[in-house]
């Protein structure tokens, strides 16, 4: 089952990359980044079956960091929305206003 | 049986992922994402990572996705029914990047040796550990011995995240 799950995670990663590049809504780009993180998690878990339990411990850490990243990123999105009134990335050109 | 279940879950995951990218409404995308995460958790169970499957449902599909839902509803984006794409040049660029990335990944997958893939002893160590320590113990033991520093640092990271999120999202005084 290892090659199949590696192929599956490669497919999910590619779909996530496509979403990050193509979509304009920041929240959907964020969801696609989560999708990429999940693809990597799937790779870790499927290889941990061959190489020992450490992969699963690492997935645990990845999930924690993903939660932290989602909280901070969504806070940034809220604060940008207050300023511009939209969540399109095309509006976010300036680092400071 | 396991193979059939794997393909069922893989179809769910792929369908969900495509739905996230192609969905018209942010909430539709989010619901597809939850489906996809549930499918990945099913695959985790098939691969012997029972604890991670439970965590996947509780933390990812439960907490993080609900956070996204809160933000979508707070910003009132649920009425947005256009599939906003960033212009056709970027779409072509996206296909080029993802095509080359997919080709690279496929090439790497082919490099992996067949005896590694077909190793009959694969998973026996983890299965024995699972029987001996249980689904939580098998991941808790390395977490609290070898990785205990990283575990404590994760706590600090979460604390900093709480402070940062509140400071960023609060109204300017």
Domain extent listing, chain B: 1-84, 86-119, 126-173
What is residue A49's predicted lDDT score, i.e. its pLDDT? 82
Give yes or no for A95 touching B (CB within 8 A): no
Compute the average pLDDT of residues B134-142. Answer: 85
Give residue B151's pLDDT band: very low, low, confident or very high (50, 70, 90). Answer: very high
Contact A48 B126 (CB under 8 A): yes
What are the percentages of helix, strand and coil residues in chain A, rounded to 5? 85, 5, 15
What is residue B86's predicted lDDT score, i.e. its pLDDT? 74
What is residue B112's predicted lDDT score, i.e. its pLDDT? 66
Contact B52 A56 (CB under 8 A): yes
Does the structure's ipTM exceed the value 0.85?
yes
pLDDT tens column, A45-82: 988 887 888 888 999 999 999 999 999 999 988 888 88
Domain at B1-84: CATH code? 1.20.120.1200
Which residues touch A64 (CB under 8 Å, ≥6 apart)?
B154, B157, B158
Instruction: Give CA–CA dist B12/B161, Å, rounded.
Output: 32
Instruction: Give CA–CA dist A23/A19, Å, rounded.
Output: 6
Give yes or no for A47 touching B (CB within 8 A): no
Give residue B108's pLDDT band: very low, low, confident or very high (50, 70, 90). Answer: confident
Contact A25 B154 (CB under 8 A): no
What is residue A16's predicted lDDT score, i.e. its pLDDT? 92
Give yes or no for A37 touching B (CB within 8 A): no
pLDDT tens column, A17-48: 999 988 888 889 999 999 999 999 999 998 88
Chain A residues within 8 A of B6 when measuring between CB atoms: 1, 4-5
HEC profile for B59-82?
Answer: HHHHHHHHHHHHHHHHCCCCCCCC
Across B10-163, the runs of DSSP E, i.e. the strands, are: none
Of A23, A52, A75, the CB nearest to B85: A23
Chain B residues within 8 A of A79 when measuring between CB atoms: 168-169
Mean confidence (pLDDT) of chain A: 87
What is residue A4's predicted lDDT score, i.e. its pLDDT? 83
Where along chain A do its domains lie? 2-91
Is the model's pLDDT at B173 over the cut of 60?
Answer: no
Give residue B37's pLDDT band: very low, low, confident or very high (50, 70, 90). Answer: very high
Contact A10 B109 (CB under 8 A): yes
Top CATH class, A2-91 = mainly alpha
Give residue A90's pLDDT band: very low, low, confident or very high (50, 70, 90). Answer: confident
């Amino acid at each position: 089952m290892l090659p199949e799950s590696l192929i599956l995670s490669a497919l999910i990663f590619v779909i996530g990359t496509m979403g990050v590049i193509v979509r304009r809504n920041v929240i959907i780009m964020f969801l696609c980044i989560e999708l990429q993180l999940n693809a990597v998690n799937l790779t870790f878990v499927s290889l941990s079956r061959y190489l020992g339990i450490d992969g699963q411990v690492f997935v645990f850490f990845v999930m924690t960091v993903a939660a932290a990243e989602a909280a901070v990123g969504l806070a940034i999105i809220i604060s940008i929305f207050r300023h511009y009134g939209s969540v399109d990335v095309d509006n976010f050109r300036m680092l400071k206003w | 049986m396991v193979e059939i279940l794997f393909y069922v879950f893989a179809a769910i995951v792929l369908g969900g992922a495509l739905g996230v990218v192609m969905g018209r409404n942010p909430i539709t995308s989010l619901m597809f994402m939850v489906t996809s995460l549930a499918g990945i958790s099913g695959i985790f169970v098939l691969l012997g990572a029972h604890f991670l499957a439970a965590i996947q449902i509780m933390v990812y599909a439960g907490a993080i996705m609900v956070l996204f839902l809160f933000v979508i509803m707070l910003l009132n984006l649920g009425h947005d029914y256009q599939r906003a794409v960033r212009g056709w040049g970027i779409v072509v660029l996206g296909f080029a990047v993802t095509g080359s990335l997919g080709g690279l990944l496929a090439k790497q997958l082919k490099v992996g040796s067949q005896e590694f893939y077909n190793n009959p002893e694969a998973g026996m160590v983890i299965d024995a550990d699972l029987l001996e320590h249980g689904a939580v113990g098998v991941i808790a033991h390395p977490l609290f011995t070898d990785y205990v520093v990283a575990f404590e640092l994760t706590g600090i990271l979460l604390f900093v995240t709480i402070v940062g999120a509140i400071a960023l999202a609060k109204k300017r005084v």
